[in-house]
Structure 1
Amino acid sequence: MIFGNIHNTGEYAFLPENVQKCFAYAREHNLLSYGKGSHEIEGKELFFNRTEYMTTEPEARFWEAHREYLDVHLILSGTERIDVNFTGNLAAGRYVEQDDFLPLEGEKNASLVLRPGDFLICYPSDGHMTGVQAGKPELVKKVIFKVKI
């Protein structure tokens, strides 16, 4: 996983071209103006999901990982905690291929607090639990870029 801020993407020139496209797209478009849902950039190779939700206690959230796509979580407004652990440290459920969703069970290894402009890139070995409150419940608006790998 890689944690950073959209204003410092020059430090991440080593990342693949499609991840760089996510950063460029975010700089060139007002992502808050997009409606909730899925938005294609390059078909199924690169798209994003625009979401918003109230953060909550971790007991009300779930662990997940993906096999076909990298996730690039980018916070637009609000503050969110994302708990992380490596998939090898978590118990895997049944993979749902059509949703590229691998449910996981277990404990966190670390937590990150993301604020507007912060991003977290999750690779297939990165289990993550999103939507966790950082102190108190808060409305979070974000995009999750999905980058085919």
Structure 2
Amino acid sequence: MICGALTDLPRYRGMMRGLDVLIDWLEENDPAQLACGSHEILGDKVYANVMEATTRCASEAHYETHRRYHDVQIDLSGREAYRVALGDTVQVEPFNEADDFELVDAGAFIEGDLADGKFAVFVVGEPHMPTLQYGDDGAQPVKKICFKVLADDFWDA
């Protein structure tokens, strides 16, 4: 996981081909102008999923993992917390190849949030649980973007 202020994302240029594409796009575009739905940035290699959701309790969620795409997540309005699993996981829902998605549970975790203009990059294979209630806010609406960034291993396939 990489996290920080969205304005600092360019520090990570050179780490992943798709992340470089996203950084370039963010320098030229305002992500807050995107409507809900999917938006191509570079075909199926880098794209944005804009969604409105309601934050949830961690006890009502599972960790998700991906094999092909890194997630770069930001909040446009509202605020959310997230968890990243540490150590062993237990499969809850088998991997779905078409959706690049698996659900798992884990005991240990670290926490963070996307409040105040932050971003988080959840790398391929990293179990993460986004869209959690922030602090004592309870369930709240959030508008967010999950940028999908194809892992370098699949870039030229």
Gaps of 5+ in 1: none
Q: Count residues with an aligned counterpart.
A: 148
CA contact under 8 A between 2:14 and 2:20: conserved in structure 1? no
The residue that corresponds to 2:33 in the other structure is 33
Give me the TM-score of the superposition, normalised by structure 1. Answer: 0.89
1:79 is matched by which residue type in structure 2? R
The 2-side partners of 1:10 and 1:23 are apart by: 6
Q: Structure 1 vs Structure 2: percent identity of aligned residues? A: 28
Change (3 A) 1:143 1:3: same
The residue that corresponds to 1:97 in the other structure is 97
The residue that corresponds to 2:149 in the other structure is 147
Report how far residue 130 of structure 1 moved.
Answer: 0.9
The residue that corresponds to 2:126 in the other structure is 126
Are positions 1:22 and 2:25 aligned together? Answer: no
Give me the TM-score of the superposition, normalised by structure 2. Answer: 0.85
CA contact under 8 A between 2:10 and 2:23: conserved in structure 1? no
The 2-side partners of 1:77 and 1:24 are apart by: 23
Moved more, 90-99 or 24-33: 24-33
The residue that corresponds to 1:6 in the other structure is 6
CA contact under 8 A between 2:71 and 2:121: conserved in structure 1? yes
CA contact under 8 A between 2:70 and 2:122: conserved in structure 1? yes
CA contact under 8 A between 1:38 and 1:47: conserved in structure 2? yes
Q: The residue matched to 2:98 in structure 1 has which SS?
A: helix
Gaps of 5+ in 2: 152-157
The 2-side partners of 1:73 and 1:50 are apart by: 10
The 2-side partners of 1:56 and 1:97 are apart by: 26
CA contact under 8 A between 1:50 and 1:144: conserved in structure 2? yes
The residue that corresponds to 2:117 in the other structure is 117
CA contact under 8 A between 1:5 and 1:117: conserved in structure 2? yes
Change (3 A) 1:30 1:129: same
The 1-side partners of 2:17 and 2:38 are apart by: 21
